[in-house]
Structure 1
Amino acid sequence: MSDRKRTSRRQVRHDSNWAGMVRKLHVGRKQLGLEDADYRALLQRVTGKTSSTQCSEGELDLILKEMKRVGFKTSRPSGKPWVRKVYALWEEMGPLLRSGGTREALRAYVLRMTKVSAPEFLDEPTARKVIEGLKAWKVRLEDGDA
């Protein structure tokens, strides 16, 4: 008998987090329009493996980061256009603000104006007040009055 230990070719733990990451990879592959050969080349370049089933969670994370770098968007935009508008205005104002336009500073501004803790929780009429306030503030910043 051989003294060698038998080891599985696949030493990857498959749990729900791992499976979720693999699903994300396949969504990213479709979103980026990657053909099978291009997808496998990406896997090979990042991990040295040609199949996501051979990858560990850490390797899957590296692949996802690379896919995000080349344009994969993992989260859906808010279904509320007014929330997107608040964030867009805040991003435009960021370089002009002392806070640098951090999300925490935006949440503090929204809370101070509306008593709502974050833009995501605003209803449309309240969000319009925040948007108008941000527009006025932006004009003052650009004019150097704020």
Structure 2
Amino acid sequence: MASNRNRSYKNPKHVTRRHAAIGKIHIGKQQLGMDDDTYRAMLLAIGGVKSAKDLTPEGISKVVQHLERAGATFTTPKRAGRRPHSIGSASERAAQLRKIEALLADAGRPYEYVASMAKHMYKKDALEFCDGRELAGIIAGLMKNAKREGREVR
């Protein structure tokens, strides 16, 4: 099988995906408790190489599938969401955003929760598009929800 060592990946997205997939292989190795000799033997048998960095995209896919069949589980962590970037730190909206963040943290909810509130309440695609009055409405909604669920509102 040809080595990937000479192939140069130019597209940053491809490089990122490749690194993530190779990381996935190493996570599977750790989950299954493989020693180095067993791991290298598996790479040689499944992917035809001695090192994960030499795997082709097809080889990576085969190795990941093999690890999954062997019992490795790959789950993506639940992300907190994307914090709005367009709200300056000195504005009134920034203070409102900090209050929203505090209410979300107390409730254990991600940013997507308030993004869906903005869409439902004000037909806005993102929190960044809400003005001060609309952010106040979202805060009021979060506070009502906190009271309804028995959380202390500060």
- TM-score normalised to structure 1 length: 0.44
- TM-score normalised to structure 2 length: 0.42
